[in-house]
Structure 1
Amino acid sequence: MTQFYNAYLNLPNHFYRAVKPQPMLEADLVHCNQPLAHQLGLNFSAQQWLDITCGVAFPDGWTPIAQKYTGHQFGYYNPQLGDGRGVLLGQVNDAHDQAWDVHLKGSGQTPFSRQGDGRAVLRSAVREYLIGEALHALGVPTTRCLALCHGLENVRRDGLEPRATYLRVAKTHIRFGHFEWLAQQNDVVSFKALANYVIQTVYPDLATLPEPERYAQLLNTIVSRTAQMIALWQKVGFCHGVMNTDNMSVAGETFDFGPYAFLDDCQLHYVCNHSDTQGRYAYSQQPSMGLWNCQVLISAFAHVISEADAQHAAELYINTYNQAYLSGLCAKLGLANSLPQDKHFVADTLILLEQSSLDFHVFFNKLVYFNVEQRHCQSNPFTEFVGDSQAWQQWATRYQARLALEHANQEAAQNNLLHTALNPTQFETQRVALINTNTPQLVLRNYIAQEIIEAAQRKDYAPLTQWVHALREPFSVCDALKAYSAPPSQKGQKGLALSCSS
């Protein structure tokens, strides 16, 4: 039988405040994430899903609370933070005994709302539902939505918008900002209590380690997972938009979505948040901002680890990110084994894409058609896409040489192992397969999300259902959505920037 509980209540009571959600009445159950519900062993009826998601009634064992934390927002420390428009209901364990937090968003004001109304709007709820499924299918660690409701009540943002509530599932809702808060208070006892809670609920393998090694390894794990996550963001062309430390999860999951976007044209300094006037969280800045955030976390952990451990954690982020990013981009280029010098080829490729105003995702899809024998044919899709300029001819020569080196290195390795080396045809098949498994055919571009939102606001939920299913299989595309795999048109579809209210 499924057990519902809230382990966060075992922490000192100054970590949270009990909150009674403000129910959303006269609501529709827009969508329920059945695969995720099945994973969690949840078999609620439609009415139960509606009651939980609207904040009307919860299973015994779930106790709504708002967590207290702080954080750096756009580089400035803000001590007045906490769950302002959502409550942690509690946890449930899956069949593998992995604990999952369930959080109700848009449930009304809390003691940390800071003059806000604590509500969510349908626009932002649909966007978070979609992106969770999209990133999960792309292999990017992320929070996901379990259910979504839409009510008649209007909420004022830029204008009046329909209210929504939704359930978010994550391995934990502990943020970097939780540790910042306790470090600022110089509360080492509470800091260790929180660290032990994270170890118990997220990283139980660390529980047997003695102090201070336990906390040093916890920090290393958080830093390493953060670096890997951001490398995956860069690989899939994802822009988070608001990488404040209170939006960084200690589980290394993509967390707290606002004005996110996938790249359209390869604009390396693209800023998806029009509130980010300095470009702090531009696509190109995400790796360095990840390091900056980890350095803030490392500083907080200085209370419980040595200076040498702190230095190691910073170096670990850099080394982990560089390795994960290079291997990820090489895979998109069809290179199974990355070499240190490939970082120059990867960088030059992206710069040339930007200079040529070419679509980031479509380029890699077309790259499967790159073929030494076919490249100069008039009907070659790759040449048609990039053009036959001198710059791209030079790039093709470099790529061809790198493929030849890859093939030669594989042959040498296989000969040393007394295995039969791949012939040219087999090698080409491997290259194409590697690109295809690392490059989606279907990408959740912002104009697509907007179409789905506008339909939902008319109470037409069919597009949402269709796209949720499609985004779960992004490496293939059904005939009905084939047009969406092409680059977006120039007419208001490219490079959309959104606000934090998104």
Structure 2
Amino acid sequence: MTSHFPFDNSYARLPDRFYARIAPTPVAEPALIRVNRDLALHLRLDPDWLASPEGVAVLAGARVPEGAEPIAMAYAGHQFGQFVPQLGDGRAILLGEVIDRDGQRRDIHLKGSGRTPFSRRGDGRAALGPVLREYIVSEAMAAFGIPTTRALAAVTTGEAVMRETLLPGAVLTRVASSHIRVGTFQFFAARGDEEALRLLADHVIARHYPQLADGDRPYHALLEQVTARQAALVAQWMLVGFIHGVMNTDNTSISGETIDYGPCAFMDAYHPGTVFSSIDHAGRYAYANQPKIAQWNLTRLAETLLPLFSQDQDTAIAEAQDILRGFAEKFEKAFHGGLRRKLGLFTEREEDIDLARELLAAMSEAKADFTLTFRHLVKAAAGPEGNEALRKLFATNPAAFDDWIASWRKRLSQEPQDAATRQEMMRKVNPAFIPRNHRIEAVISAAVERHDFAPFEELLTVLSKPYDDQPDFAHYAEPPQPHERVLQTFCGT
């Protein structure tokens, strides 16, 4: 194992108009918060070296490692439906790319590493709170098995950043299959740069979808593949009650990973209109709107690809529309299949989705906790003796719950598995633990106010095994008390 990053950079070999070459800005006194040892080893990096003074200097942006080609990537994007022709990495720098133990190319990316030509009026820095939030939530998503960027490390900078008040600064080292977004394509489409669009599409195909390269219509197939991955991704989000909070096109990854954890949150009480983001005043990115927004974002991607589809615009539009129409079916198949599994239904019957919808409607009326409801169903699947804890979540309308669970048990009787097998299968898709908002806020408060990272470490330990019962940490599964509820989350920019 080497003590340096074995970089093999491909994006930096694209033309200069794809990025700005710029080094991170050194910081005053970098100090390590945490290195993700397992991820480091998977990336063929030495976690002990990363934790050394030399490694921490790299993670803080104070030292550029050998082989790095630091760049700030250019992109545009629709932000809350309004197009901005130039955004780009305003507080992040791509150091380079490595090949992991699976042979996959992964970006090494510093977030909060200083100003770039795309910073506009920003300071290019990150506050400690948002860095910890992204570390926690992205690693939880990975533990759920949901495609996501990962957190390799977090460091403090020894410098303060000004938001509403002075806050300690930090840098997150993020890992992704790539940081190419729908907004990256929009950047070149807005400039009428068809050559760059073709170069970018070819790069994405080579990197993420190499099986498409020799096909008859590789750019059509690219849109089909991105559509399929986004449909599956959003379904996976919703099956664990996740709300991204800022599904702008510049936050929509071409690789199908969850990216840019800003005002993200997990629901406690279920309601389809749930919004946490402090800037989402109209509920554009509410929980139930996420599939619709994903399709809207994919339509913006399709618009950029039209010149690569056909020189005849009407033909290109018709072909793109045909591909986009497949989104709803792909999403519903993934989401409905996931709901069946959460209910312990591993064969398919026509009435299953109505059964799931009836449960969700009862949950919304009762303000039942999303995660606990499905986790308690695991216990209830053993027999009526497991009803009690579940029924308590529907205290406002127990009759509706009694009617539903009778229908559910009748449906379970038509399944071929025995109760123990069914419970084990359900346990694998219904987490006991999620990154509850009040727990994240407690972690942030401890770190910011007392420089105490023990709660951060403990929460990460719990979330590393979200499907296990973990009796010693059972209190982490509990929903917030009324005074603990977090009603808004913030971007942190």
Given that residues 369 and 380 in structure 1 are in contact (C-alpha distance below 8 angstroms), is that contact kept between their aligned partners in structure 2? Answer: no
2:298 to 294, 301, 317: 294
> Who is 1:483 aligned against?
475
Describe how 1:109-258 pairs up with structure 2 within 5 A: 109-210=115-216, 213-258=217-262
CA shift for structure 1 position 367:
1.1
Tell me if the contact between 2:90 and 2:124 (Cα under 8 Å) persists in the aligned partners.
Answer: yes
How large is the RMSD of aligned CA atoms in angstroms? 1.8
Q: 1:437 offset after TM fit, Å?
A: 0.9
TM-superposition CA deviations, 1:64-122 (whole Å, max 9, x none): 11111101000010112110001111100012221001111101111110110000010
CA distance in 2, matches of 1:373, 1:89: 54
Q: Give the aligned residue type for 2:377.
A: L
1:446 is the counterpart of 2:437: yes
Kindly indicate whether the alpha-carbon contact (under 8 Å) linking 1:366 and 1:381 is maintained by their aligned counterparts in 2.
yes
Any residues of structure 2 matched to 1:491-502 within 5 Å, and which?
491=483, 493-501=484-492
C-alpha displacement of 1:157: 0.7
Which residue of 457, 476, 482 corresponds with 1:465? 457
**Structure 2 SS opposite 1:167:** strand
State the alpha-carbon separation in 2 of the partners of residues 462 and 496 from structure 1.
25
Q: Distance in 1 between matches of 2:145 and 2:40?
A: 19
Q: TM-score, normalised by structure 2?
A: 0.93
Tell which deviates more after alignment, 238-247 or 311-320.
311-320
Residue number among 24, 33, 36 corresponding to 2:36 in the alignment: 33
Which of 64, 68, 71 is the equivalent residue of 1:65?
71
Q: In the alignment, which residue of structure 1 is the partner of 2:408?
A: 399
Aligned residue number for residue 380 of structure 1: 388
Q: Deviations over 1:370-420 (max 9, x none)?
A: 369635x9x83333443472211221222123223x32xx4xxxxxxxxxx
**2 CA distance for matches of 1:437 and 1:395?**
23
Q: What is residue 15 of structure 2 aligned with on the other side?
A: 12
Q: CA–CA distance in 1 between the matches of 2:469 and 2:341?
A: 21
CA distance in 2, matches of 1:340, 1:291: 26
SS of residue paired to 2:355: helix
Q: Structure 1, unaligned stretches of length 5 or more? A: 411-421
How far is 1:487 from its partner? 2.2
The one of 259, 265, 280 equivalent to 2:284 is 280
TM-score normalized by the length of structure 1: 0.92
Question: In the aligned structure 1, how far is the partner of 2:367 from the partner of 2:270?
Answer: 7
Contact 1:368 1:435 in 2 (8 A): yes
Equivalent residues, number:
479
Distance 1:292 1:247 in 2: 13
CA distance in 2, matches of 1:94, 1:429: 38
Q: Which amino acid aligns with 2:306?
A: A
Give me the whole-angstrom Cα distance separating, in 2, the residues matched to 1:293 and 1:380: 43
- The partner residue of 1:43 within 42, 46, 50 is 46
Aligned counterpart, 1:314: 324
Q: CA deviation at 1:477?
A: 4.3
User: How far apart are residue 339 of structure 1 and its match?
Assistant: 3.3
Contact 1:264 1:495 in 2 (8 A): no
**2:357 aligned partner:** 347
Shift of 1:134: 0.3
3-state SS, counterpart of residue 337 of structure 2: helix
Corresponding residue number in structure 2 for 1:389? 398
